Amino acid sequence: MKEKKCPVCEKGKLVHVEDIVSEVEGYFFIEKGNRCTSCGEEFIPEEEGQKMIKVARRMKIWGKPLKLYRKLSKSGRGTVLRIPSDLEKNLDIRGDEIVIISKVGKNKILIEIESAS
């Protein structure tokens, strides 16, 4: 692998990372790219950016100001977040899928649908 120098600070080198977070209309996408070891600037290669745009388009969120606000509620065993029905339809969620929940940044939660059984 060739080492690339960061074009921003010109001190650090760029290392491959797979956890660059992009936000589109309140949705978060994890992308592959490079991050500078010195200043932390992130670079997303063209094809990765295109992939994200494609996914965003498929979810029909690209270029649409779709932000969904939901209030959490308490149930006997914990906190419940209801998935809005339009999103449910859009993602074909049936309600028995396994999801991966990750903490992103300080106050964001990323929910990925892993599989439908």
Which positions touch Zn ion (CB under 5 A)? 6, 8-9, 12, 36, 38-39, 41
- Which is nearer to Zn ion, 4 or 51 (by Cβ)? 4
Q: Which long-range contacts (CB under 8 A, 24 or more apart) does 46-55 make?
A: 52/22, 52/24, 55/29
Structure tokens at 40: 């932390």
- Which is nearer to Zn ion, 8 or 59 (by Cβ)? 8
Alpha helices in 36-108 (DSSP H): 46-58, 85-91
- Which is nearer to Zn ion, 7 or 84 (by Cβ)? 7
Nearest to 4 by CA among 27, 31, 38, 32: 38
For the CB of residue 41, give the shortest distance to Zn ion in the complex, in Å: 5
For the CB of residue 12, give the shortest distance to Zn ion in the complex, in Å: 4
For the CB of residue 32, give the shortest distance to Zn ion in the complex, in Å: 18
Between β-strands 13-24 and 73-75, what pairing exists: parallel, antiparallel or unpaired? Answer: unpaired
- Which is nearer to Zn ion, 38 or 90 (by Cβ)? 38
Find how far residue 20's CA is from the centre of its chain.
Answer: 8
For the CB of residue 102, give the shortest distance to Zn ion in the complex, in Å: 26
